Chains A and B, each alone.
Chain A
Amino acid sequence: MTKKSFDELYREWEEKTRQLLEQYPEQRERFETLSGIEVQRLYTPKDGTGMEEIGFPGGYPYTRGIRPTMYRSRNWTMRQYAGFGSASETNRRFRYLLDQGQTGLSVAFDLPTQIGYDSDDPMAAGEVGKVGVAIDSLEDMERLLEGIPLDRVSTSMTINAPASVLLAMYLAVGEKQGVASEKLTGTIQNDILKEYIARGTYIFPPKPSMRLITDIFAYCAERVPRWNTISISGYHIREAGSTAVQEVAFTLADGIAYVQAALEAGLEVDRFAPRLSFFFNAHNHFFEEVAKFRAARRLWARIMKERFGAKNPRSMQLRFHTQTGGSTLTAQQPDNNVVRVTLQALSAVLGGTQSLHTNARDEALALPTEDSARLALRTQQILAHESGVTQTVDPLGGSWFVESLTDEIERRAFSYIERIDEMGGAVAAVEQGYMQREIHRTALETQRKIESGEEVVVGVNRFRLEKEPQPELYKLDPHLAREQVERVQALRGKRDGEETARRLAALKRAAEGDDNLIPFILDAVKAYATVGEICNTLREVFGEYQPSV
C-alpha cells in the first residue's frame, strides 16, 4: 500500500466536508476580516509563503520582528498615555504610574496646547485641561516633569502642529536638570498629515508644516540623536473608521511623504530615517491585526531599501508603538472592555510591538479613574509576565493563515500606495481629500453593518442588559482651568517681556526666511514665550490650514 500524497488527502477532506455542508451549512456564506479579506475554511502548506519573503527576526525584510531575540531580551515598553488638568496634577499621575511599574511616560496635552492656543485664549474656552494637561509655557513643563529623571525615563509626547515648541521645552527642562540633549530619549508624534486626514489638530497649511517637521529631523540628527523625531500614525486613521489595510497604506504613504520632504530639504536618508517611528492601532480582528503589524514591517523595509536606497539596516526597521482601539470600547457594560483590550494587546505583542498603551475600561465614558488606569497597566503586565507569549520570537510566524493574511495585507496596502503615488503623493492626496473620503466610506459601511446586526458588538447590538451598570467615573476639578488661566496671565507679568518679544521677533524673521527654526523656537521658549505666542507668531507668517470640507 502506497502512502497517499498530501494533495490526495486534501481532496478527500474537501469532499467529506462538502457532503457534511449539504446537511449542516456554516454560519455564514462568506467569512471575511474587517478589511474584507476573505478567510478560507482551512489553511494548509499550499498557502505558505517562501522563506525568503518571511526571513528571520532582526534581518531584512523584518517580517518576524526587528530584533533577533525580541522579548526574550527585553519586554516592550509599557507606556500609558496620561494627562489632565494642570501640570502638577499630571505629574502626580506620572509618578504613580512609574511607581506601579510603568516603564515610560506618555504625555497627553489638552486641545488648546495641541492647537497652539494659550489657556486664556477665547478659542480655548471649555477645553483647558480636558483631554490632557494644559502647557502654556516652560514654567508648566518644569512642573510637569518635576522629580522625574530625564536621563532615565523616556517620554513620548502626543503633540503635532506645535511639536517643535514642546520638544524645545523638554530640551530646556533637560538642560535645567543637567541632562545633555544627546542623552534624552523619547518621541514626539509630529505627524501632521494624519491630522489633516483624521485627527483634526492641525494649525498651519501642509507646506510650512512639512518644513517644521524636516527642521526637527535635521536639528535632532545633530543635537538629540536618541530622540524619535516623528511617530507616523495609523492609530487615528483607524479610529476615524479605516480598515486595517487602509491603516497600513495611508500611514506608510505619509511616511514616504516625510522621507521625500527630508530628502528634498537636503538630508541624507540614513541620517534621519533610523529615528522615524510608527504608531498603530490594535483592533478587533485578532489574526488580521497580527498580520497587519508584520505586513507593515515588511512593506516599510522594502520601501526604504528599494525606493529610497537606504543602506543602514536601522533605516529599514519599522519600530512602532501600539494603542488598543479606542473606538472599539463600548459605553455599555464597560467591564467588557477589559476583555477587548486584552485580546487587542495580545495581537500587538504577537505582532512585535516596541511599546504599548492599553486603554482603560471606562474611556468611552470619561477619562480613566486611577483604578481603571491601573487595571489597564496590569493587563500588560499579565501578558508580559504570566502568559508565556514572550518566550519565543514571532510565535505565529509560519502559521499558514497568518502568513497568507500578511501577504494579502501587504499586497493590498501596496496597491493603495501606488494609487496615492499617481495622485502626486500623500500631501496631494490629503489636499484632494482622498484618504478622508476613503475612510469615511469605510466608517459608514461599518456603521451599516453594526446597525443591521451583521457585525456583532457585544452589549450594544447583542447581549444587552436591561439596566446598565453605572461605574464611578473620573471627575476633573473644575477649578484647574481657572487656575491655569491665572497662571499664564501671571507669567506674562513677571517675565522679561522685552526679551521675550525680541526672541519672538527673531523667530518671525527666521520663519520668513529658510533657516532651521528649532534654535529660534528654543530661544523663545527659554525666555518663557508661551505656546500660543510662538504659534501665533508662526501663524502670521504661515497662515492657517483651511479644510476643504
Chain B
Amino acid sequence: MNRPIRVLVAKPGLDGHDRGALIIAQGLRDEGMEVIYTGLRQSPAQIVATAIQEDVDVIGLSCLSGAHNELFPEVTRLLKEEGADDIIVVGGGVIPQSDFPFLREQGIRKIFTPGTATRETAEFIRKAVKEREGAQ
C-alpha cells in the first residue's frame, strides 16, 4: 500500500466531549496518517456516508455519553448495508469493560479505554489495515 492510512474520527450522537477525539485525531496525524474529524453530533448515517466519500480505511468512534451500545453497532450495520464493511471500526470513550464483548460481536474491532497511549492505538490500526490488505 502506497498511500497513508486514512482515518475518520467521528463523534456519533449528541455527546459534546471532544477532547479525546481531537487528541486522537492529532496523535494519529503525528503518526503519519491522514485524519478527518467529523465534528460533533453526527448520526451513524452521516458518519458512514462521510467514511465512504472520503474513502477511509478506519473509523474511530468516540462516545462519552453511554450511548455506545446503540450508536456504534448502527455504524457497522450501515457499513455492511452499503457494502463498505471492509472499513475497520474502532472506538473509545467512557465504556465499561462488560460492554466490550457485545461491541466486538457487533463488528467493533477494538475499544480503547481512557489512558491508552496514542502510539498503541496507531500500532493497532497499522496492523489491522495491513492484515486486511493481506486478506484482499
Contacts and interface: CB of A to CB of B under 8 A. Distances in A.
Given A111-B13, A126-B13, A367-B66, A447 B94 contact: no
A101 interface: no
B67 A364 contact: no
Contacts of A130: 65-67
A332 B13 CA distance: 26
A451 B19 contact: no
B98 interface: yes
B129 interface: no
B122 to A, nearest CB: 12
B82 interface: no
Given A111-B13, A331-B115, A549-B37, A200 B18 contact: yes
Nearest to B38: A549
Contact of A447 (B23, B96, B97): B23
Assign chain B's interface to a size class. 20 to 34
B9 to A, nearest CB: 12
Contacts of B22: 440, 443
B65 A444 contact: no
Interface string A78-116: 000000000000000000000000000000000110110
A364 B97 contact: no
B15 interface: yes
A389 interface: no
Contacts of A473: 96, 98
B37 to A, nearest CB: 7
A470 interface: yes
A200 B19 CA distance: 11
Contacts of B67: 126-127, 130
A506 interface: no
B16 A366 contact: no
A428 interface: no
Interface residues of A, number: 42
Interface string A449-480: 00100000100110000000010010010000
Nearest to A452: B117
B14 A240 contact: no
A484 B14 CA distance: 18
Interface string B33-70: 00001011101000000000000000000000111011
A269 interface: no
B97 A111 contact: no
Interface string B75-118: 00000000000000000001011100000000000000111011
Contacts of B23: 443-444, 447
Given A111-B13, A447-B27, A457-B115, A239 B19 contact: yes
Contacts of A115: 14, 41
B70 A125 contact: yes
Nearest to A473: B96
Contacts of B71: 125-126
Contacts of B117: 451
A116 to B, nearest CB: 10
B40 to A, nearest CB: 5
Contacts of A460: 115
| Chain B interface, >50% SS class | loop
B115 A476 contact: no
A501 interface: no
Nearest to B114: A331
Contacts of A332: 115
B16 A199 contact: yes
A153 interface: no
A364 B114 contact: yes
B19 A241 contact: yes
A548 to B, nearest CB: 10
A331 B113 contact: yes
A488 interface: no
A451 B119 contact: yes
Contacts of B17: 199-200, 239-240
A200 B15 contact: yes
Q: Which of B14, B39, B69, B117 has the most CB atoms of chain A within a 10 A radius of its CB?
A: B14
Nearest to B98: A473
A339 interface: no
Contacts of A382: none
B98 to A, nearest CB: 7
Interface in A216-270: 239-241
Nearest to A366: B96
A201 interface: yes
B19 A240 contact: yes
B116 to A, nearest CB: 9
Nearest to A365: B96
A368 to B, nearest CB: 12
B14 A365 contact: no
Contacts of B94: 363-366
A486 to B, nearest CB: 17
A130 B19 CA distance: 20
Interface string A413-443: 0000000000000000000000000001001
B19 A127 contact: no
Q: Which of A114, A195, A451 has the most CB atoms of chain B within a 10 A radius of its CB?
A: A451
A343 interface: no
A131 interface: yes
A440 B26 CA distance: 10
B117 to A, nearest CB: 5
Nearest to B39: A549
Nearest to A457: B115
Interface in A353-401: 363-367
14 contacts: A123-B14, A123-B41, A127-B15, A131-B66, A200-B16, A200-B40, A201-B14, A366-B66, A367-B66, A440-B22, A451-B117, A451-B119, A461-B115, A547-B40
For the complex of A and B, the 5 pairs showing the least CB-CB separation, nearest first, are A200-B16, A126-B70, A111-B14, A126-B67, A460-B115
Interface of B: 13-19, 22-23, 26-27, 37, 39-41, 43, 65-67, 69-71, 74, 94, 96-98, 113-115, 117-119
Interface of A: 111-112, 114-115, 117, 122-127, 130-131, 195, 199-201, 239-241, 327, 330-332, 363-367, 440, 443-444, 447, 451, 457, 460-461, 470, 473, 476, 547, 549
Given A115-B14, A200-B40, 4 more contacts: A124-B14, A126-B69, A444-B26, A470-B98
